[in-house]
Each structure stands twice: as C-alpha cells, then as structure tokens.
Amino acid sequence: MTDIDYEKIAADAGLERVGARAPLGEYLKELWVRRHFAYTLARFRIQATMSENRLGLGWIVIRPIFTVIIFGTIFGLIMPRTSRPEDNFIPFLVIGVFVFEYFSKSFSAGAKSITSNAALVRSLNFPRMLLPLASIMQQIFELVPIMAVMAIIVVVFGEPITWSWLLVPVILALMTMFNMGVALISARLTVHMRDVTQIIPLVTRILFYSSGIFYSLDQVLADKPELLRIVQLNPVHDFISLVRAQMLAGTEVSPEMWWVSVIASVSLLVIGVVFFWRAEERYGRD
C-alpha cells in the first residue's frame, strides 16, 4: 500500500502546520501588525493589579521607596560613609534603586511571559514574541509614575533641573532595548528549563549588589583600576550611572559607558529576537 504524503498534499493546498515558524522577516511583520494585542494585554494586566490591591498602582512606587528607606538607613546612617557620595546620597540612592527596579521587573516578568500564559499559547495562533513584548510594555507604563516620583525626590533634595535631564529618556530607551533582549532570552530558557526561574532572583540580587546602587564603584575600587574597568562593562551599572550623570550636579561618567550601553542594547536585542524566534514552534509543546 502506497504511503500518502500528507505534507505534500497540504503544501499543494496552501495549508500550513499549526505553530509553524515563519521566516524572520514575515514574523517581525506579523509582530508589528498584531502589536495592539501586546498593548491591550499590558494595559489589562495593570488594571488587574489595581483591582487586586487596595493601593493599586501605588505599590509600583511604594516598593522601591521602601527599598530606598532600608538601604538609606543602613548605608546612610549606620555603615561608614567612605564608599558613598557625601552631598547627594539620597538622590544618588533613589536613582539607583528606581532605575534598577525597571530592569529587575522586566527580567522577572519577561522570563515568565510564556510559561504563565501556557493556555493562551496552546489555544491561539499568534507570534509568541508578543507575550514578552507585552510584559515589557507593562513595565514601561509602570515606569512613568516611578520616574515622576524619582524626579520629585531628586529636586526636593536640592538637585536643579537642567537641560541634561532631556537625555534621561534616551538612556531609558536604550535600557528598554536591553531589557527586551533579556526578556526574550530568559523567556525561551524558562520554557526549556523551568529551573531558570529559581536562578533569576539570584542573578538579580548579584547585579543589585554589583551595580553601585547604594555605593560608588569609583570610590570602592579606586585602588583597583583593572577591576573597576571590568565592572564598568556591566550595562545595568552603566545605565544607572548615565542617568545619575544627567540628573545629579557634579556627577561625571566615562564616555565609554555610552558605547557600552548602546552596543549592549542593540546587540542583546538582536540576539534575543533571533534566539526567541528560532524556538517559535516549540512554545506550547514543551
């Protein structure tokens, strides 16, 4: 009995396999066409957060403020002051915590974007990249009140508003590209290895303590220039330092930080897109 070539028959009829991966160009085009799905999903998630908690979106700002209070008390009052700036420690700390919060939440939400929407992935046909994109959009929406509160605190503690503040959105745009790349890579890894979700908090904590959130790396590593140069290759540290340089008077950064931030943002986004796209057919099956 002759075997029937169902795949050839389906191809001749113009039928496609369920969940088949489109070429990258077509995939990105469809992603753009369906971008409103990601926007709507992000908006409804924020509304769900507001309905679940009495303070609603207030927790978006309250949580990093609590972090600032805790570390401000420990490193501003209790610990020695040799490793932190003297004149603008509170604005210095606030910027570090608030900007890092944007990265850490994007990392965590992006990693769970596929596994937490398994039913949606299995039941509907759409570019799966929309889910990590929606998680990043949600963090962007939440970033707006965080940045507003951050700016108010910085001004209240004596820092003047200058024209250099206009570069902060540019830095955050680069950071958004970086966060999207991280989200895409972690989203795929989490699908293949669920244990990755247990590692993410550890990685986030290491980055928190190594990115100069509540101390100055330039002061701590002043006698170790080689190590300082290596640490400054950390894009998260560079994003924070660049924002501080625009908002805090007397704060300077190396021009190399701009290059590290741009290269890291563009390269990680490209790598993340390709890495995530190559496993498109596996999402919802693993």
Structural domain that includes position 172: 25-282
Answer yes or no: is 273 within a domain: yes
Give how many domains the chain has, as a whole number. Answer: 1
Answer yes or no: is 66 within a domain: yes
Answer yes or no: is 78 within a domain: yes
Residue 264: partners with Cβ closer than 8 Å, 6 or more residues away: 178, 235, 238
Q: Along the 286 residues of the chain, how does pLDDT read in single tens digits? A: 445 454 454 444 444 555 567 888 999 999 999 999 999 988 888 777 666 665 556 667 777 777 777 766 766 555 555 556 656 888 888 899 889 999 999 999 999 998 888 888 887 788 899 999 999 999 999 898 888 888 988 998 888 899 999 999 999 999 999 999 999 999 999 988 877 888 888 999 888 888 888 777 777 777 777 887 888 889 999 999 999 999 988 777 888 899 999 999 999 999 999 999 998 888 866 5
Answer yes or no: is 6 within a domain: no
Answer yes or no: is 18 within a domain: no
Structure-token pair, residue 198 = 């247990």
- SS (HEC) of the chain: CCCCCHHHHHHHCCCCCCCCCCCHHHHHHHHHHCHHHHHHHHHHHHHHHHHHCCCCCHHHHHHHHHHHHHHHHHHHHHCCCCCCCCCCHHHHHHHHHHHHHHHHHHHHHHHCCCHHHHHHHHHCCCCCCHHHHHHHHHHHHHHHHHHHHHHHHHHHCCCCCCHHHHHHHHHHHHHHHHHHHHHHHHHHHHHHCCCHHHHHHHHHHHHHHHCCCCCCHHHHCCCCHHHHHHHCCCHHHHHHHHHHHHHCCCCCCCCHHHHHHHHHHHHHHHHHHHHHHCCHHHCCCC
Q: How far is Cα 203 from Cα 186, in angstroms, rounded to an integer?
A: 12
pLDDT at residue 124, as a whole number: 79
pLDDT at residue 119, as a whole number: 81
Answer yes or no: is 231 within a domain: yes
pLDDT at residue 165, as a whole number: 93
Structure-token pair, residue 34 = 């369906």
Q: How far is Cα 31 from Cα 147, in angstroms, rounded to an integer?
A: 29
Answer yes or no: is 132 within a domain: yes
Answer yes or no: is 8 within a domain: no
pLDDT at residue 1, as a whole number: 44
